[in-house]
Amino acid sequence: GAVVSQHPSWVICKSGTSVKIECRSLDFQATTMFWYRQFPKQSLMLMATSNEGSKATYEQGVEKDKFLINHASLTLSTLTVTSAHPEDSSFYICSARVGRGVDEKLFFGSGTQLSVL
Amino acid sequence: QKEVEQDPGPLSVPEGAIVSLNCTYSNSAFQYFMWYRQYSRKGPELLMYTYSSGNKEDGRFTAQVDKSSKYISLFIRDSQPSDSATYLCAMRAAGNKLTFGGGTRVLVKP
């Protein structure tokens, strides 16, 4: 399958600081990437859809000014958690869409555990 | 009612047994069905992908889809301790985003 690289895998930051998470498609070009959040023992919650060269589309209830998404190239999307607070502590996972229609599949990065102190 | 229902488990089986997982859904527009495996603190890994009713086999894994009953299953034969993980079903309608089940935690005991 396609390889999606996510970095860092673990980050600890102080409250009020910003954290950037990178998501790269290593062996393919991804015009569309997705960012998810996952709380312990829960399923994935879609935060936003990242489209190369255009603004991200955020799901209802997700603050776009707090979770800044940039998809400046066909292989890189970044999520920046601005002015992080302890309640932002979570597991963040990116994914990239490969193929279209019947052949469309979603491949995931390895995730980033964010802990805000 | 959630669009996709999945028993959270945990489902505990002895090594070598068959693991049986399933999801039910309510949206008849769902056409594409996936099973992902997720180890703790890792991203989900795509195991199986189907888009029609019937069975699909890949190694020790068999995925079944019954659109008339809105029911999908994943079977893992000859289960190994390394199969211990959370299994997520996911599905989508044409052109739409994926909807995930809540995940079933599986424990395979040696």
Average the pLDDT over A21-37 and give the result.
93
Whether B12 and B107 have beta carbons less than 8 Å apart is answered as yes
Q: Say if the Cβ atoms of B43 and A6 lie within 8 Å.
A: yes
What was the pLDDT predicted at B70?
95
Which pLDDT belongs to residue A99? 85
- Are the beta carbons of A96 and A110 closer than 8 angstroms? no
Q: CA-to-CA distance for B19 and A52, rounded, in angstroms?
A: 40
Chain A residues in contact with B100 by the CB 8 A cut-off are 43-44
Residue A52 to residue A56: CA distance in whole angstroms: 9
Q: Pick B43's closest partner by Cβ from A42, A43, A111.
A: A111
A97-111 average pLDDT score: 88
What is the tens place of the pLDDT at every residue in B2-53?
899 999 999 999 999 999 999 999 999 999 999 999 999 999 999 999 988 8
Close Cβ partners of A117 (under 8 Å, ≥ 6 residues apart) = A12, A13, A14, A15, A86
For the stretch B62-110, pLDDT in tens is 999 999 999 999 999 999 999 999 999 999 998 788 999 999 999 999 9
CB-based contact, B65 to chain A, within 8 Å: no
CA dist B90 and A46 (Å) reads 13
Residue A66, pLDDT > 90, answer yes
